[in-house]
A and B are shown apart, each in its own frame.
Chain A
Amino acid sequence: MATAKRKPNAKDYDDIPGTMVFDAERSRHGYHLNMFCMSLMRAENRAAFKENEAKYLDRFALTPAQREAILKREYNRMLELGGNIYFTAKLGATDGHSFQHMAASMTGATQEDYAKMMLAGGRSVEGNRSKSGAKARSLLLAEPRSKPARSKPVRGKPVRAKTKPKARSKGGKRRG
C-alpha cells in the first residue's frame, strides 16, 4: 500500500500552512494543558477557575508559556504548546463562546466575517496547500498520470512517429 511506504515519523504535515497537527510530540508537551481544559467539564471546576484563574492554574504542572497563553486566551499559541482544539474548546465554552467564535479568533477574523466566509463556501484550499510551495499532489484529485508524461519526450518531433510504436510494443507485451 502507498501508505505503508511512507516514512512513519516524517512530519510531512508541517508543510501545511496555518495548521498545527496534534501529534504524539505535541500531545506529550501539552498533557497538563489539555488535562486542565478537561477539568473544566465539571461545573465546580469552572466556578473555581472563574473565581481566580491564576490560583486554579496552580493545580496543574503547566509551563510558564502555557500559563500565559491560557490567561491571555491565545488559542493558536495553546495549539503550538501542545493544546488540542477539542480540549481548548472547553476553555472557550467556559468563557461562553461558541466553536465558531473560537475558530474565527484563531484566523484573526471577526466572528461576523468568518461566518460570512463559511456561508460563501468556506476558505478555499487554493493557495493554502503548502508553505514551501512543494508540489502537493492529490491522489484523489489527480488527473490521469499519462498525460504530461506523454507530451514530454516529443520535443518538436512529429507526435505520431514517437508514440505509435511505443503503444504497439506495450500492447505486444500485454498479449505475451
Chain B
Amino acid sequence: MARIVAGIACSHVPAIGAAIDNKRTGEPYWTRVFSGFEKSKEWMAKTRPDVVICVYNDHASAFSVDVIPTFALGCAAEFPPADEGWGPRPVPVVKGHPELASHIAQSVILDEFDLTICNKMEVDHGLTVPLNLMFGSPREWPCPVIPLAVNVVQYPPPTSHRCFMLGRAIRKAVESYPGDLRVVVFGTGGMSHQISGPRAGLINSKFDKAFLDNLTKDPQKLARIPHVEFMREAGAEGIEMVMWLVMRGALDTRIDEVYRFYTVPASNTAVGHIILENRAKKAAGKVKRAAARAGSAVRRSN
C-alpha cells in the first residue's frame, strides 16, 4: 500500500528562483531566506520520499485566460519548465508518476472531485521553486513529482473547505494504490502578500502565524475561512494559502509539527514554511506490541 508520510508547505516566490538562477543566494538579503531551508533539505534527504505530490498554482504560464481549470492534475511522464518570459528556469525537467497520478485521478473523480487531467503541461516557478527549496539544485530531481495545479488567478479559487476535502480524497486514493510508495505532499504559495493595486506590499504576520499554528492544531478552523478574509487580512494574492489546505487534508488528523520557518520579506511576500509528519500507523504499533508479547512469552517459557 502506498501511504502519505508527511506534508510540507512553503512559499513559491519567483524572486527566490531568480536568486538561485542568478547565483545570488549568498547575499545577506537572501541568506536570511535560504538559511531557513537548510534543516528542510536535511529532513528531505532523510525522508527520501518515492513520490512528491506538489499542489501549486500556475501564473499565466501553462494556462492563459483561454482555459482556467480549477484543479488540474499532471498525469504526464514529464513536465518541462515553462518559459516565463526570461527563458525557462535552468532546472531539471520534472519527471512525473503517470501510474499513481492516473490512479489518483480516477479515485478522486469517483469521489466527486471533477479534476482536469493534463497529459501535457509545462510547470512554472510555482512548482520548481519549492522543489529547489526542499531538494536544493541537483542535476536531476531525486524523485517523481505529480503536479496538482489549483486556480488562484481568477476569482474564485476553490474554497478552503473544498481544498481540504480534496486533500482527504487524495489520501484515500494514495492509500488504495497497490504499489508500496512513500509519498510527501507539498502545499505551496502564500503567505500574506499583495502584488497588485495601491495596497500592494501588504503583509500580516499575525494572520500568518495564526494560520501556521492552526495548520497543526485546528485545520478545520482554517477550512472555514472565507475568501474575502484571506484577501482582506493576507492580501489579494494571500488567497494562495487555500492550497496549503489540500496538503493538510491529505495528512492524518493527528500529526507532528517537526519544523517551521517564517521570514519577511522575499521581494513582496512573507515566506512561510512548515513540515508536518504523520504519526506511525497503528498497524506498526500493533506489530510492536505483538513483538513485545512474543518477547515476554519467550521470557516466560524460559
Contacts from A to B (Cβ < 8 Å): 1-4, 6, 12-13, 16-24, 27, 30-31, 34-35, 37-38, 40-41, 76, 79, 84-87, 89-90, 93-94, 98-100, 102-104, 106-108, 114, 117-119, 121-125, 128-130, 136, 138-141
B64 with A139: CB separation less than 8 A: no
Give the shortest distance, in Å, between A100 (CB) and chain B (any CB): 6
A120 to chain B minimum Cβ distance, whole angstroms, is 9
B119 within 8 A of A: no
> Is the beta-carbon distance between B233 and A21 smaller than 8 angstroms?
no
Cα–Cα, bound, A118→B202 (Å): 9
A79 CA / B155 CA spacing, docked (Å): 14
**Contact at B233–A141, with CB atoms within 8 Å?**
yes
A-B pairs with CB below 8 Å: how many? 180
Q: Is the interface of B mostly helix, strand, loop or mixed?
A: loop
A13 to B155, CA, bound (A): 10
The answer, among B83, B204, B224, for a CB contact under 8 Å with A3, is B224
CB distance from B269 to the nearest CB of A (A): 9
User: What is the size, in residues, of chain B's interface with A at 8 Å between Cβ atoms?
Assistant: 56
Residue of A nearest to B86 (CB): A93
Chain B residues near A114 (CB-CB < 8 A):
201
Q: Which residues of A contact B60 (CB under 8 A)?
A: 34, 37-38, 84, 86-87, 89-90
B270 & A16 in contact (Cβ 8 Å cutoff): no
List, in ascending order, chain B residues with CB within 8 A of A35's CB: 64-66
Give a binary string over B152-188; 1 marks a CB under 8 Å from any A CB, 0 the rest: 0111100111000000000000000000000000000
A-B contact pairs, 21 of them (CB 8 A): A1-B161, A1-B224, A13-B155, A16-B199, A19-B199, A23-B155, A24-B154, A41-B61, A76-B197, A87-B60, A99-B14, A103-B196, A106-B198, A107-B200, A107-B201, A108-B198, A117-B201, A121-B205, A122-B203, A129-B233, A139-B225
Contact across chains for A23 and B198 when beta carbons are under 8 A apart: no
- Bound CA span A102–B85, Å: 16
Query: With a CB–CB cut-off of 8 A, which chain B residues contact A34?
Result: 60, 64-65
Q: Which 7 pairs of residues, A with B, have the shortest CB-CB distance?
A: A122-B203, A18-B199, A18-B198, A85-B196, A86-B60, A23-B155, A123-B201
Q: B residues within 8 A CB of A138?
A: 207, 229, 232-233
